[in-house]
Amino acid sequence: MSPESRAEYFKERRAKYKMFSVEVEREKMETLETRLNETGETKKEWLSRKIDEEISEEK
């Protein structure tokens, strides 16, 4: 991948996505990760679903 196309890719990615990062107590996160492993859901999928639920409750 050329540097120009890489730069363009990340420029488009930053326009489409927004980073979300927080610190959570280790025990809580490990419990969540265990539950997600049982269901086969990723943290990204879980968070996206929760955000959709929160947004739909506002309407």
pLDDT digits (tens, 9 = 90+) for 3-26: 789 999 999 999 999 999 999 999
Summarised one tens digit per residue, pLDDT across range 16-58 is 999 999 999 999 999 999 999 999 999 999 999 999 999 997 6
What is the pTM assigned to this prediction?
0.74
- The sign of the dihedral angle between the CA atoms of 37, 38, 43, 44 is positive
With a CB cutoff of 8 Å and minimum separation 6, the contacts of 20 are 47
